[in-house]
Structure 1
Amino acid sequence: MTYKSGPHFLQIPGPSHVPGRILRAIEQPTIDHRGPDFQALAKEVLAKVKPIFKTESPVVIFPSSGTGAWEAALVNTLTPGDKVLMFETGQFSTLWCELATRIGLVPELITGDWRHGVDAAAIEAKLVEDKSHEIKAVCVVHNETSTGVTSNIAAVRKAIDAANHPALFLVDTISGLASADYRHDEWGVDVTISGSQKGLMLPPGLGFNAVGPKAMKAAESGGINRSYWDWNHQVGMNRDGWFPYTPATNLLYGLKEACDMIMEEGLDNVFARHERWSEATRRAVKTWGLEVLCQNAEEHSPVLTAVVMPEGHDADKYREVVLDKFDMSLGSGLGKVKGRVFRIGHLGYFNDLMLMGTLSGVEMGLAVAGVPHTKGGAQAAMDYLTGNA
């Protein structure tokens, strides 16, 4: 292997960079998860994570990926054969739908073009048609990591209410939490699903369910047979600072530090800087003469930007050039857009200079790979950042 000087540029939309403060927290000696020190840690972490979701409800923490948190949300609230309404916004909404099928649910997927967010009117129309209330849950993705599209969750809540439908409302904000504005309680979400490796700036390994009262009641009286994913056992033990099985102790140390960092900065400030980087990135893409995958300006993700390659040029081959020549990883296209887009992550532990390094690397890569473009995208982003410092 050829030695490469300097740090690798990891610019995928998660896992994101882990700051030194969090790494130092994680490297603390592992403690007895049945002892008083852990009990104090657990109580503190379980309290500190709630404001990140903007909720007063319990937040259940699993040693899992976001996929595990998807499954937990479904098996606690639904029973085999239940109909669930889902909306296709990209690869991850599709995978969640596939998971629902595998565990015995009956999802109805409203098709989308992967360039727009959830159509709240289409959700409302389906619920209005459902006179017998066969649909037991509405499941949508807040920030679709595969496409760079952020859906209007408040609008979906209004659609459910307008239809006067009792369906539960489940939302995946795995890549949106702590990067894009999200309000579990205010938006009337029953279960919010998230993960540790995006805006929370942690390594992969923690899955989250923020559980509202209606969802908790459903879990107490029903759900699919479960053990590991059971909220009832977990929430009951969490009240006293315990977990029903061995928790990811050192990641909880990191989560405590992450919550402290986020709240020290202030959530509104966190959201504002992500929006600023997103706008700067789009200005670079426009200057290059390329196209952003998301077509609705109101739905542009603050977390990442998906860039469409010109016809006849393969996005994965371009990414290989960037990795080889500049030691930078860009996100690949997934599912239907594989080979057609690359994704630029601008989330979490990040700053203006990191964005400028990223966009400069993208522009140099376009030149080296022979991708048709107009020079000056990085400069356009820099002009925006300096004019809006």
Structure 2
Amino acid sequence: MSKTFVFLLALASLAVTTPVAPEDIQATVPIVSTFNFIDGKDLIQRDRARIHQLRSVGQQKKSAGGQNTPAYNQAVVHSALVGVGSPPTPYSLIIDTGSSNTWVGAEKAYNRTRTSKPTGSKVGVSYGSGSFDGDQFLDLVTISYKLTIPDQSIGVANKSKGFNGFDGILGIGPVGLTRGTLQPNRSEFVPTVTDNLFKSKKINYNSVAVSFVPTIGLDEEGQASGELTWGGVDYTKVEGKITYTPITRTFPADRYWGIDQKLTYGKSVPIMQSSAGIVDTGTTLTYIASDAFARYKNATGSEYDEDTGLLAIPCAKFGSLNNLHFYINGQKFELSPDAQAWPRIFNEAIGGTNDKVYLVIADIGDVTGTGLDFINGMGFLQRFYTVYDTQKRRVGISRTPHTFRKVNVPGGRC
């Protein structure tokens, strides 16, 4: 059985069967987790390379565009199967809310078909710890059996680095990040997959929502770990209401899915006053400004662990850990003690030991005031449903059935 036929069978199974509202969505697409373990220090180093690239936009004039966009650096990589061409060739693409170009060719070569149209432009994106350069094509892109996009702009890598095991990136960030990625027309924008789905009336609302579940164990390798929903909200994944907050006005966070938030710990210990940062699927940990990180370290009684580069507490003290509160547009979202813990089943994979609990809150490397003072990475996103609303320039966040689920330190015991 050919891989293309298997892909087409998979597309046929993606019809929406659960009630959704208020917008008319057309399909949900499963997200697959792949484990890509590196030691803790290397994980942080790669995350910080991505953060540096994110911030480098702030060193340019706003008119210069966002050609330096972020990288994927995750220990657990989340991807989706996307078809390109006719018949569609399936590509495993990393889902990235922090970049906006969609491209293929890192592992599996681009298969030119009757729908492939070279544009004559060159395209390239630097991702901090990875990059690609190649040619720009227009081609038929198949997201699901209902969502097909003729003449979608697709980058085809001639060379790439940092994407072992994956074919490229599915960029679902704001379209402004594509400016400066094309040669010779550096001022040109590259329409995103989400924008073109809306423009072609395949979806009735210009948004994409992302749902994850917490990482539990090695048996989840290659299994569905969430979903992408284009054009609306799947309320079967939501608990309570969705809080929408406008894109921050603070540069450079305003280039991305940037929001304003403040943090407190426990009953009311102040950690970070209202600051600008981003929500990002491509960052493994959740990062906060250095001064806020020092307050969090002191409040939790944790210590820096030389072996992993993470904060750690003895198992015996885990029960004293409190919730970390994220205040977003007046609504409080709690990151429980279990959600603040690195999955203990993977302690050894990051160079740790089983008698400690390692925390997923890390130091961003600069004090508050840079315009990018936090990154709500996968440690946050696995506990909350998020909506990336291009139409109204806002981000939606809600609790899910997994927000308070105990998976990393079941029952609060080591």
| Superposition TM-score, scaled by structure 2 size | 0.28
Compare relative contact order (CA 8 Å, sep 6+) and give the higher one, 1 or 2: 1
Higher strand content, 1 or 2: 2
Structure with the largest fraction of helix: 1
